[in-house]
Structure 1
Amino acid sequence: MMLARWRWHPLATVGVSGIAALAILALYRPKRFAPLVGIDEAAAHNLLFALALLALFAALAWLRPEIGLAGVAATIPFNYRSRGFWDGDFPFIDGKYFPLHELLLLVVLGVTTLDLGWRLLRGRTVWRVWWREHWRMLLLPLAWLLIATFAATLAVPEGQAEAWREWRWMIVEPLLLYGLILYWQPRYPVRRWLLWGLLAGSAIVAVIGILQWRDLDWTPIDGTGMCFSDLIVDSGGTKRTSSVYCHPNNLALWMDRASMLAVVAAAWALWQFWRKRNWQTAAWSVLYLGVSSVLVLSLMLTYSKGARFAVALVLIGLSCLPRRWWLPLITSVVLGGLLLYSSLSGPERLSVTGDSSSARLSIWRSAAAMIGDHPVLGIGLDQFYFYFNPQYNRGYIEPALANDLAERNTAHPHNLLLDLWLRVGIVGLIIFASLAWRSLRHSWQIWHSAQPERWLALAAIAALVAGWLHGGVDQGYFSSDIAMVTWLAFGMIDSFRIKQASEAKIGQ
């Protein structure tokens, strides 16, 4: 009982969060911490040092699982700047990189497995009741797993490794995160901590991007990542920031989702401050406003047309919720005017008729031709590159792009609908559409309920819709960070559906 009370003490929360953050930082870039613990740089990158840090994180995740999951959420946007290992004693990891959120997710999964085993031994009946009440919620995720597993088997010989890596990173691991959210939410405030963790990591990425745009590049200090492209891209006479990502468009795809989470949180905090007028609501309002401002600014500095239009449409939709006729009118006029002005009088990069638009149309025609030849099953996970690139002689790239060194290496059709159809077939497309519709319907019901955290469901669906709208002209799901945040949002929404009776029983 003393330990249980200590877990929830504010000082314990601050302490556990701080130690967890230090453990993640030391794991992420160990050479920065090597002098502090008296080991050399080579030893800092070996497996034993990493296992010691992961064991520390596991102990903290056992004490407070929601803080462990927040650590996973905070590290998702650092997917392209992974943790490297140099350890000749373990050849299977020597010289390899692993995404940091993947390592932390496996740690939390291990802690959860131990907890689940203990609870099954104590009360099998409780879990049979839980399954009987919630099995329908899990049918679509399980169907998604099955159809994606089948899609991985469709890979061409030269693309099998890529297919199974995508299966691991973008199918299995996001589903594990979804399951962990549903498991822990009845006993711990997982939804709030997921939001805080994701916004904390996104704010760091945003600040790095803003400083980059101001010619203060922190990424060399951060270390080597999985990509080696220019961090500042000059496109159409416009300087675009990419932060820790490989390209500005990748940063924009992350920031449109993260910024919508922050904007909804800020709006809700301001509403609470207007009603209660106390220092707590004032502090949360200032915090969320600051974070949302940084994220939106970073998004703007990517100069992504798709992200700007997607965020504007979501903001117009959100402005309709208060049921004040003048609010969506003003929002539409202001945002529509800004988009029109930037498209007509802004830099060439923001013109809707620029060079990138014609390339998109050519890629879409190639994707449509692939669907015409594989209408039911698609071509499999992560196979677009092997069908599109002319070096594999499958004839789907148009002559106009065949000699374009940038476009010929395209790995996805830049459209969520086409991408889903090609990767997981028509059945997978229907399953994903069903998941999207279920989330929209549940979010609407939760928003109109008396749930105290109903704004989190609204924030989650706003992030998803922004990503799906942007996915109409770019990557909509099949990137590790996007897949993770998609199922994180699904989990936040579906966790509201867990019945209170089960919460009371499982929490005993």
Structure 2
Amino acid sequence: MYKQAGVMGGQALLARWAAIGVAVLLCAPWLVPSSKVYHQLLAVLLWLPALCSLGYAAFRSHLASPDLWLYVAFAAWTLLILIVRGSEEPVSDAKVVAYVTLSLLGFLLAARAGDASVERLLIFGVLLGGVGAGLSWLHFYVLEQNPFSSRLTALGIWDTVIMAAHAVGALAVVGLAMVVGRPWRLAWLLPAGVAAIGYLAFLLSSQTRGVWLALLASLMVILVSVPRWIGLTVLFGLLLAVAAVAIYDVQMLMQRGLSYRLELWGGGLQLIAENTWFGIGFHEFKLTVPGLTNQFKHPHNLFIDTGVRLGVGGLLIFCVLWLLCLWRAWQARDSALGRALLALWLFATVSLMTDGIGLWRKPNADWLITWLPIALGLLLARRNADYASSDRPRS
């Protein structure tokens, strides 16, 4: 009896420990001085409790789901490609697979910290993210006095324009999907309003049209699920924002054209055709555009990049995993987390098709549009299994 109580207490402690780690994953990039510190915090607060939890049979049995087995197949294929095709830094690249795996396990572990624990962590991350986005805008344009034509980057370690816009956009759509149509407490209006203004200012000033298109796609799904007056209000606000940008500088909407995306995608597809089944592995490659002296390190499309590196086999496994994530979101579309994942999946898919740079990288801003959707899909799959087992009649 005492032993069983100790086991349960140990699992509860690990779950709360991992919940702190999830909060760090979502919130620390605004605050930490370097990526190295960020990764060290994740190692202690997220990956370590996830690793320790594997010592408990109850948690291991909790992991059984087709979704997780599909991810394991994808990770195994990635390691196979790493062995067969090689890499400039094979040990470092193999570690990234371990980091991702432990992060996904950490999310599943954090969900055991209490009812709706992940939802509360997401809301906390969204509110802090809105404040961080607003402070980034003030720091960049007011304190540093950069011209408004300059593209905004974030405070902290999200200091790349496109990747910062990905992360901020992901937090914005998750927050909006989780709160629309729900009753509001008066105490939440001020922080929610501050966060909304911060997100709007940041995403407009990032001048990242792929993100704007992704936001439009995800917002269409969100607006369908709310009362008509709310949807019309949000839509009217978006039209005002676009009009304001057009009045201020219409070239902001038109500049840079397609940024050679079609040529880069064609070059990536050619590499897939030349290395069909096993790809080129983790070696660096260059793509050229006729008429340009510059060379590009990736095709600006995560799905094509995955095919280039892991071959058609790896691309197919990933696409099935990605579509299964969409299916989990659709099944749970009546819940706040289901709507959030559905909106995030659409935002991520459009963003990754226009600006995705790669899957297997150390924790960075793009994790919020690559591994966060998969983590939430795994969580919803686990909840579905729990509901099914609780409804099953006992013999």
Please classify the TM superposition score into its range, dividing by the shorter chain length. 0.7 to 0.9
Instruction: Report the equivalent of 1:400.
Output: 291
Cα 1:177/1:63, change in 2 over 3 Å: closer
1:255 aligned onto 2:168:
yes
Instruction: Report the equivalent of 1:110.
Output: 48
By how many angstroms is 1:460 displaced? Answer: 2.6
Instruction: Report the equivalent of 2:343.
Output: 462
Instruction: Report the equivalent of 1:301.
Output: 205
Instruction: Report the equivalent of 1:428.
Output: 314
Partner Cα separation in structure 1 for residue 230 and residue 384 of structure 2: 31
**3-state SS of 1:471 partner:** helix
Is contact 1:366–1:397 with CA below 8 Å preserved after alignment? yes
Match of 2:25, as an amino acid?
A
Is contact 1:79–1:99 with CA below 8 Å preserved after alignment? no
Larger Rg: 1
Partner Cα separation in structure 2 for residue 63 and residue 136 of structure 1: 23
TM-score normalised according to structure 2 size: 0.79
Is contact 1:257–1:464 with CA below 8 Å preserved after alignment? no
By how many angstroms is 1:289 displaced? Answer: 3.5
Q: 1:492 aligns with which of 376, 382, 385?
A: 376
| Corresponding pairs, count | 374
Instruction: Report the equivalent of 2:9.
Output: none
By how many angstroms is 1:114 displaced? Answer: 4.0
The residue correspondences of 1:227-376 to structure 2 (distance < 5 A) are 238-243=149-154, 244=156, 245-268=158-181, 271-273=182-184, 281-322=185-226, 324=228, 335=238, 346-351=249-254, 354-355=255-256, 357-376=258-277
**3-state SS of 1:239 partner:** coil
**3-state SS of 1:413 partner:** coil
Partner Cα separation in structure 1 for residue 276 and residue 326 of structure 2: 27
**3-state SS of 2:151 partner:** strand
Partner Cα separation in structure 2 for residue 494 and residue 432 of structure 1: 14
Instruction: Report the equivalent of 1:181.
Output: 107
Cα 1:296/1:429, change in 2 over 3 Å: farther
**3-state SS of 1:241 partner:** coil
Is contact 1:416–1:471 with CA below 8 Å preserved after alignment? yes
Partner Cα separation in structure 1 for residue 356 and residue 151 of structure 2: 18
By how many angstroms is 1:304 displaced? Answer: 0.8
Match of 2:285, as an amino acid?
Y
Structure 2 residue ranges without an equivalent (≥5)? 6-11, 391-395
Q: For 1:229-251, what per-residue CA distance to the aligned partner results, in whole angstroms no more than 9, with x for missing partners? A: xx96x7xx822111243332121
Instruction: Report the equivalent of 1:439.
Output: 325
The residue correspondences of 1:72-221 to structure 2 (distance < 5 A) are 72-75=24-27, 77=29, 81-82=33-34, 98-117=36-55, 119-120=56-57, 126=58, 130=62, 134-153=64-83, 160-161=88-89, 164-169=91-96, 171-189=97-115, 190-199=117-126, 202-203=129-130, 205-217=132-144
Cα 1:154/1:211, change in 2 over 3 Å: farther
TM-score normalised according to structure 1 size: 0.63
Is contact 2:32–2:38 with CA below 8 Å preserved after alignment? no
Q: For 1:390-419, what per-residue CA distance to the aligned partner results, in whole angstroms no more than 9, with x for missing partners? A: xxxxxx5234222x3xxx2x3221112212
By how many angstroms is 1:492 displaced? Answer: 2.7
Q: For 1:18-75, what per-residue CA distance to the aligned partner results, in whole angstroms no more than 9, with x for missing partners? A: xxxxxxxxxxxxxxxxxxxxxxxxxxxxxxxxxxxxxxxxxx9758325422333235
Is contact 1:175–1:487 with CA below 8 Å preserved after alignment? no
- Give RMSD over aligned pairs: 3.7
Q: For 1:410-445, what per-residue CA distance to the aligned partner results, in whole angstroms no more than 9, with x for missing partners? A: 322111221221122212222222222212221222
Partner Cα separation in structure 2 for residue 331 and residue 82 of structure 1: 36
Q: Percent identity?
A: 19
1:473 aligned onto 2:374:
no
Cα 1:477/1:154, change in 2 over 3 Å: same
Q: For 1:280-310, what per-residue CA distance to the aligned partner results, in whole angstroms no more than 9, with x for missing partners? A: x222344334323312321111111111111
Match of 1:178, as an amino acid?
L
Structure 1 residue ranges without an equivalent (≥5)? 5-59, 84-97, 121-125, 218-230, 274-280, 389-395, 449-453, 504-508
Match of 1:252, as an amino acid?
A
